[in-house]
Amino acid sequence: EAQVTQNPRYLITVTGKKLTVTCSQNMNHEYMSWYRQDPGLGLRQIYYSMNVEVTDKGDVPEGYKVSRKEKRNFPLILESPSPNQTSLYFCASSSPIGIFSGANVLTFGAGSRLTVL
Amino acid sequence: DAKTTQPPSMDCAEGRAANLPCNHSTISGNEYVYWYRQIHSQGPQYIIHGLKNNETNEMASLIITEDRKSSTLILPHATLRDTAVYYCIVRVGGNQFYFGTGTSLTVIP
């Protein structure tokens, strides 16, 4: 089944304790992205990656790192988590579809709910 | 500088058509409009997308105005399972997608 898999799904941690949220896709997609979702703010993009070793900042990259060493994986790293990073995180991937090369349909993971105390 | 504007909430009677509007007045000529929905806190689910012409698939129809500054997602016969937050999305700055805060649709029995 084509899917984006995130782990962990739920995590409670403490301020300053480094953590990594993994994201893996089995669709051979070039494009991958991380979003955070907070009440009243919708989904905001953290980082995205066009392909292996190519990453770029989204709208809210502060406090996060990413890497793209393999096409299928795009981990989100919180080096020193703080309470304002408590949020619901989504990973997504896409490739262009059909004959319209400009269209990108995103496939989302199930989400990772992170609480930083 | 909002990329998309949607009403925060709407109600629809079960079995009736749900028409969800979206303004995307800053859209450029080669950008697609995408619609997704999110049920509770699950991952957003793709519904439909379009560029200039109206589109229809098994889930919904998408009507895009001629000037492409707005669009309407139509769920032809809304069911209780269509209760969700619906996002109208445009791609901005190359490969970033602007989601906004969406429309919370409640289908009423």
pLDDT, one tens digit per residue, over A4-46 is 999 999 999 999 999 999 999 999 998 899 999 998 888 999 9
> Rounded to the nearest 5 degrees, what angle is found at the Cα of A77, between the Cα atoms of A104 and A34?
20
Q: Answer whether A106 sits within 8 Å of B36, measured CB to CB.
A: yes
Query: In the numeric block, which tokens belong to residue B93?
Result: 């700055």
Instruction: List CB contacts (< 8 A) between A40 and chain B.
Output: 101
Chain A, nearest residue to B87 by Cα: A42
- Residue A41 is predicted with a pLDDT of 87
Place of tokens 């619609």: B35
Neighbouring residues of B93: CB distance < 8 A, sequence distance ≥ 6: none
- Residue A98 is predicted with a pLDDT of 42
What mean pLDDT comes out for the span A91-109? 75
Q: Answer whether A35 sits within 8 Å of B95, measured CB to CB.
A: no
CB of A7 within 8 Å of a chain B CB? The answer is no
Q: A69-73, A93-97, B23-27, B87-91: which has the highest mean pLDDT?
A: A69-73
Residue B107 near residue B80 (C-beta atoms within 8 A): yes
Residues paired with residue B94 on neighbouring β-strands, in sequence order = none
What mean pLDDT comes out for the span A58-82? 96
DSSP per-residue string spanning chain A: ---EEEE-SEEEE-TT--EEEEEEESS--SEEEEEEEETTTEEEEEEEEEETTEEEE-S--TT-EE--SSSSB--EEESS--GGG-EEEEEEEE-B-TT-TT-B--EE---EEEEE-
Neighbouring residues of A80: CB distance < 8 A, sequence distance ≥ 6: A15, A16, A18, A63
Sequence-ordered strand ranges (E) for chain B: 9-13, 18-23, 33-38, 45-50, 55-56, 61-64, 70-75, 84-92, 96-98, 103-108
Cα atoms in the Cβ-side hemisphere of radius 13 Å centred on B72: 9
The type of residue at B40 is H
DSSP B17: P
Instruction: List CB contacts (< 8 A) between B45 and chain A.
Output: 108
CB of A31 within 8 Å of a chain B CB? The answer is yes
Instruction: State pLDDT tens for residues B79-108.
Output: 999 999 999 998 776 677 888 889 999 999
Kindly provide the b/e burial profile for residues B65-74, where b requires at least 16 CB atoms within 10 angstroms of the residue's own CB.
Answer: eeebebbbbb
Mean pLDDT (chain A, rounded): 92
In the sheet where A65-66 sits, what is the strand order? A4-7, A19-25, A76-78, A65-66
